[in-house]
Every structure is written in C-alpha cells, then in structure tokens.
A and B are shown apart, each in its own frame.
Chain A
Amino acid sequence: MASSNMPYAVRAYERRRLADALRKMILIRKFEEAAEASYMRGLIHGTMHLSIGQEASAVGSCMSLEERDKITSTHRGHGHCLARGADLGRMFAEFFGKETGYCRGRGGSMHIADVERGNLGANGIVGGGLPIAVGSALSAKRLGTGAVTVCFFGDGANNEGAFHESLNMAAIWKLPVVFVCENNLYGMSMSTDRSTAVGNISERAAAYSMPGATVDGNDFSAVAEAVDAAVARARAGEGPSLVENMTYRLRGHSRSDRNRYRTKQEIDDWAKRDPITRLFGMLVSHGVMAEGDMAELDGDAARKIDDALAFAASSPDPKVEEAAFYVYAGSGAR
C-alpha cells in the first residue's frame, strides 16, 4: 500500500500542521541568521550558540506537546524556544539586553525562557536542565496535571553526573519525561567518539531500564515519530524514554570557534543534509506544498524578523538602579 510507505509525519499530521512545522523551521533558521548578523555588527553582547542545521530536532520534538507541557532547554536553545511559539521580538530584545526581553535583559541568549509557554529555560550549565526536567515531571505526576516534560540536552551533557542521576530517578519513579539528546557529534571540540564510551547515547537508556532510540535528527518525520511515541508513553504513565537525534551544528560551537577539531569536508557533507530542504522536499513530493511556496515562506519569515528586530531595537534598556531586582521575591515588577 502506498500509504504505508508514506513518512510518519505525512500520515500523522494534517497539512496545516505540516506547513506550520516547516514555517517554524524556516523561522528558526532566519532568526538565527539575523541574530548572527546583529552579533557581528556588535549589537549583541557576550556570546551565542546557534543551532543552524538542527531545526528538525527542535520542531520535530515538540509536535505532540500541548500547552500544559514543559520543556527544558540548553545553551543552544533558540530553536526549542521558537518551536514552542515564543515571541520573536521578545527574544531579540533579550539578545539586545532590553527590558522588554524574556529575561528583562538580565539573562541574554543563554538563559532565554518563556515560562508562559512551558519553556523552563535555556541553561548555561551543560546538563543543568536534566534534573530540573525530572523535577518538573515529578510535580506533574504528584499534581496530576498530565503534563509531559521534554528535556533537551546535548551529547556533551551525557557525560555529566547529572545525566545519569536524572535518568535513574526518572526511571525509578516512572516520571512523565522524555530525554531528547541532540547529538551533534561534538561537545564543543570533543567528538562523541572521544568523549563517550558507548557508540550511541541511546544505549545508555538500558542502564536505566527505559526505551532508547537513535534517529536521524535531520529528518523531521523520524524525530517526530520517535518523540511522539515517547510522549505518548509518558502521558500514559509508563515512564521516561531517551531519544537521540543525530544531527549537526553547521556553525561553530560559539562565535569564537575556529573549527580546528573538524574538517571543512565534514561540514559540507552535513550541509547537504539540511533538514529544512529535506522537509520541504518531502512535503512537495507528497503534495502538501508546491515548489513555488518556498519564496513565500522565506518572505514571510523575513518580514516577521524585521518587525521583531525593530521592536527590540526601539525597546528601553533596563535601569541600572534595578540591577538587583528579581534576586528575591518581592523585588521588582512581575
């Protein structure tokens, strides 16, 4: 049957949702390109970690999440944030250190959170989000909210003690959490070959008695299929899972990376497996979209980004006198 050969995504989602997913991936890409351009023009302080090339992992992993669900994110978290529908303007405003930013200019790119939409925050500490995700799942279970928490983390984080401790606790308490490892082959300069004793990180699931799967992280449909199943399992009260999305960051680790640990060839090869091109191709081949639609999608994203940049640029800076607001409850507005 033709239908059984159809990719999971085409089978599982309506056209509108598929188009939306593509639109989000394009938006993430354009957003990060614009952030990169602003960074290079000196408008952004500090450092930033771009997820260009990893958009399918972010968007595919959030397909079956509902409003009540939570995610924890990482230093490479713009995609996760946008996948959950964050406001572009407030994100740029945060990059620009503005009072209208998601963290009122106090956190920057590495700490963006959108708590209203269930994003408990990016994290400057590798592995820092793992126990927090387990805690979020614990409260969902105790409070009976039915919420599932998706915990994003990188391959590098799987060697922190927090990873192992978190998976174990999630498993012994059967908590509704999905561990999504975005394996982009490197933790900064260290390849997983050198850093990690197992071939696939998903093998580590066995040590904590939970299902583990490794999928092509640049294939939107494959990601969605694996994570949807894990979310369903979590929601059904059957406990945690570990999904490993094999992907690649096309940019350096941060803006100061000189790519000495990998080859140009490797980067070029991965560029050919661009998740956006692949999803678009799939949607065209299944008649969900037409070849000509790309230009419109691009234009759409570009307009949104221009508006967001304008909003951010014209926003006020936080007041220096208010630097110590929000240290404790009761200081500052919220």
Chain B
Amino acid sequence: MPVEVIMPKVDMDMASGKILAWHVSAGDEVSKGDPLFDIETDKAAMEVESPGDGILRFPVDEGAVVQIGRPVGWIYADGEVASDPPGGIPSSKDEFRQSVPGEATADGSRNNISSGPDNISGKFRASPLARSLARADGFEIATIVGTGPRGRIEAKDVRNYQARRESEADTSDALAVSESASGTGTPIILLHGFASDAKSWTRLESNLGQRPLVRMELPGHGRSQILKAVGFPDLAATVRQTFDGLNLDKAHLIGHSLGGALLLDLANARPDLVASLTLIAPAGLGPEINGELLAGILRATRSESLGPWLKKLVADESLVTESYVQAAMRDRMEQSTRAAQEAMADALFPDGVQAFDLRAALARVEVPTRILWGKQDRMIQWNHALRAPGRVAIHLLDGIGHMPQIEAPEEVARIIEANL
C-alpha cells in the first residue's frame, strides 16, 4: 500500500491548508524526512516532510486548498503499481451522516443547498462534464485541482489544465536564457519586469563585476516565446522549470518588478539552491499598481504614444530619450507581442490590481534578502516594502522611480555587491 501524504494540522483552529509549492514532482523519488511541500494556513506557512520513502504520485496541484487530514498525494514503493489513487475510508463518520430526504425540517426550509464534505479520501469532486473531458483526453482527473465549490473540478479546470500542458509541451525550454560570456563564483540570475526585457539590465551589468550572469526573459518578452497560460502560477512554474533546467548548485537572484515577484516565488520553492535574493521594486507585496500606466504602455502602437508613459517609469524623465523610446517601441512592434502582454496583464493585473500575493512567501524565505525601491516610483508605491519582515533589508532611493537599475545603476550595484 502506498503511504498517504496528508494535509497536516499545524495550528489549533486550522481547518484546511493551501499547498504553496511541491519540492518534488510527481514521479520523483523521495526519502522519509525530505522536504516535500510547503503549506500555508490562515496564520502560518511551513514545510512538510515526506512521511515515507518512495515515489511521489498523484500530488494535488499547487494552490489547492485541502482540508486537514485529507490526502494531498501518495508515496509508492518502488515497483508498486499506481494506476489510480487509492480509495480510502473517510476519517470522520460525520461525512456520511446525511439528512433523511424528505424529512420535514424543523425550520421549514426546503431549498437548502446541499452541503457535504469538502473532500473524501481517494475521491475527487468533479463535474460530470469535467470527467468526460478528462476521459476523452485520456488522463486521470485527479491530477487536476478544482476551483469550483468545495474544490470541484469543473470543465474550465480541465481546459485550463489542457492549455497549460500544451504550452508546457511546446516550451519545454520555456524561457529564453542568455548567459554572460565569462565570470567566476556563484552565478547571478536576472529577471526583468513586465513589458521590459533582458536589455534593461545592461547598465547594471557593467557595474556588477565578474560574476557569471544568467538573464531570463518572461514569456512574450524579449526572445521568449509566447505562452498560452499566463496566470501567475503558470509563470512561476515556467520560471522554476527554466531554473531547474540550468542545474545550478546555488544562485543569487535579482528580479525587478514582476520579475522580482517571480524570483521570490522561486526562492521560496527552491530554498536550498538560492544564495541571496534582491528584489527591485517588486510586485506581489500589495494589491495596488498603476493600472493606467500599465494600460498606457500596452496600448501604445508608436513611439509618440509610448514615450510619455515610459517617462512616468523614471523620476528624471530626461533619461527617457527619443532613441530610447524608439528602441523600446521597436521591441513592441509585433502585434502578437502586444496581444500576449495584454493577455498577461489581464491575468496578472485585472482591473489594475495585483492578483497575486507573495507576502507569505517572503515571510518564509530565509536567505539574505533585500528590497530596493525608488521613492518616486509611480508604478508600485515603495511603501509596499514596509510589509516585508524585519530581517529583510530595505533600501529606499530618493529621486528614483520604478527603474533603479537604469536610473541609478552604480548605487544599485554597490548595494548588491556589498551583500553577495
């Protein structure tokens, strides 16, 4: 029998927990005591260790909310056949206590929505349509996380899963990566922000000395392909996948804006592989973002309309020269690029709000971490930095906007260098 991996109760009044990230994937081998996954509860976030040795199978998706005591995956012994997730006996009898149909209820209610347990061990709530879609496609519905009531897997979850799988399939080396020619020591990974690309690091790079640099580019940005799935969890998974593909022992992470949020997520998922984390004006620490400014950049189809918006990204607008704007516009000339970025903005920043929240992840990251922020940032307010836990260093740069790595590269480099 496979070993059941359950959502543990780690807090007195905890009813359910959210799977933040798996440290291993389905099919990977784990040993008892290995970090297996991270959970988040109302109050706390913590790492859960593997309860046994073997192969992880049927892990529920990251982001799923699971009732305590319910399985989130199974560990199979080597060679043990795993065609279906094992059924199980619900741990509480209450789930099967149902009201007698037709019983006159004392309160006279009649149209009460039927309720039931959120989950039953080994059983999955899925709409019949979702099941038939999965059946037609030949995969096990249990591999999907449901977003419907009580975690029901609905048709849209299946379709999203199919889309994600496809996009993963055709971008197996998902993100474009460029590496500096030379360098020694622990490499630095750079990830730019939304509607930007790896070129935005050029000024900073020349101040960073001799370390190997690895620049990733977001999907639909720079030389990366366009991905169909564009939500934050998808992006984070792609970044993880790209990072894993690099096979580094350790890396320093430097991310800007959306790139900051994604590297923060990576640091949380791969704590042992990260040496330090530098977040420049990162997203993910609060809901506010300048939606108008985002929309303005996305909408622009020529340099005349792009220029005024780009100027708002910096404090000293003279930095945004005509040739800078023209170069930026050249990168955005492709209609498909703009459409891809627009779809991404719609998923990440619907109605001008940051749809993801990484404060809990930041609270968990233990590697040396610092945040740099320009006090004149008009895209994301610097005071989001104040939500970081005390151990995170905060550097606030006066007279600087949303792009410190361009506006004050020496200063930024000094701060980073001092801590590498």
Q: Is the CB of B104 within 8 A of A320?
A: no
Size bracket of the A interface: 10 to 19
B104 / chain A contacts, CB cutoff of 8 Å? 324, 327-328, 331
- Shortest Cβ distance from A324 into B: residue: B108
Give min CB distance, B263 to chain A, whole Å: 55
Judge if B105 is at the interface, Cβ distance under 8 Å.
yes
- Shortest Cβ distance from A322 into B: residue: B108
Write the A316-334 contact mask toward B (1 if CB under 8 angstroms, else 0).
0000111111011001100
- Count CB-based A-B contacts (< 8 Å): 19
Would you list which residues of chain B between 100 and 135 have a CB under 8 Å from chain A?
104-109
Give min CB distance, A168 to chain B, whole Å: 36
B107 / chain A contacts, CB cutoff of 8 Å? 321-322, 324
The distance in angstroms between the C-alpha atoms of A331 and B105, with both chains bound, is: 9
B109 / chain A contacts, CB cutoff of 8 Å? 321
Give min CB distance, B103 to chain A, whole Å: 9
Would you list which residues of chain A between 284 and 334 have a CB under 8 Å from chain B?
320-325, 327-328, 331-332
The distance in angstroms between the C-alpha atoms of A324 and B109, with both chains bound, is: 8
- Shortest Cβ distance from B106 into A: residue: A331
Give min CB distance, B189 to chain A, whole Å: 62
B106 / chain A contacts, CB cutoff of 8 Å? 324-325, 331-332
The distance in angstroms between the C-alpha atoms of A166 and B107, with both chains bound, is: 38
The distance in angstroms between the C-alpha atoms of A320 and B110, with both chains bound, is: 12
A327 / chain B contacts, CB cutoff of 8 Å? 104
Write the B200-237 contact mask toward A (1 if CB under 8 angstroms, else 0).
00000000000000000000000000000000000000
Interface of A, secondary structure class, is loop
The distance in angstroms between the C-alpha atoms of A322 and B107, with both chains bound, is: 5
- Shortest Cβ distance from A330 into B: residue: B106
The distance in angstroms between the C-alpha atoms of A323 and B107, with both chains bound, is: 7
The distance in angstroms between the C-alpha atoms of A261 and B108, with both chains bound, is: 43
Give min CB distance, B29 to chain A, whole Å: 58
Write the A84-117 contact mask toward B (1 if CB under 8 angstroms, else 0).
0000000000000000000000000000000000
Would you list which residues of chain B between 63 and 114 have a CB under 8 Å from chain A?
104-109
Write the B19-58 contact mask toward A (1 if CB under 8 angstroms, else 0).
0000000000000000000000000000000000000000
A322 / chain B contacts, CB cutoff of 8 Å? 107-108
- Shortest Cβ distance from B110 into A: residue: A324
The distance in angstroms between the C-alpha atoms of A327 and B104, with both chains bound, is: 7
Give min CB distance, A324 to chain B, whole Å: 4
Most central of B105, B108, B109 by chain A CB within 10 Å? B108
Give min CB distance, B257 to chain A, whole Å: 54
Give min CB distance, A328 to chain B, whole Å: 6
The distance in angstroms between the C-alpha atoms of A333 and B144, with both chains bound, is: 50
Give min CB distance, A31 to chain B, whole Å: 32
A325 / chain B contacts, CB cutoff of 8 Å? 106, 108
The distance in angstroms between the C-alpha atoms of A28 and B55, with both chains bound, is: 88
Give min CB distance, B105 to chain A, whole Å: 6
Give min CB distance, A106 to chain B, whole Å: 11
The distance in angstroms between the C-alpha atoms of A323 and B109, with both chains bound, is: 9
The distance in angstroms between the C-alpha atoms of A328 and B104, with both chains bound, is: 8
Give min CB distance, B371 to chain A, whole Å: 54
Give 11 A-B pairs besides A322-B107, A324-B107 with Cβ atoms closer than 8 angstroms: A320-B108, A321-B107, A321-B108, A321-B109, A323-B108, A324-B104, A325-B106, A325-B108, A328-B104, A331-B104, A332-B106
Q: State the 9 A-B residue pairs at the shortest beta-carbon distance, nearest first.
A: A324-B108, A323-B108, A327-B104, A324-B104, A321-B107, A331-B106, A321-B108, A328-B104, A322-B108
Chain B residues with CB under 8 Å of chain A are: 104-109
Interchain Cβ contacts under 8 Å between A and B, 6 examples: A321-B108, A322-B107, A323-B108, A325-B106, A325-B108, A331-B106
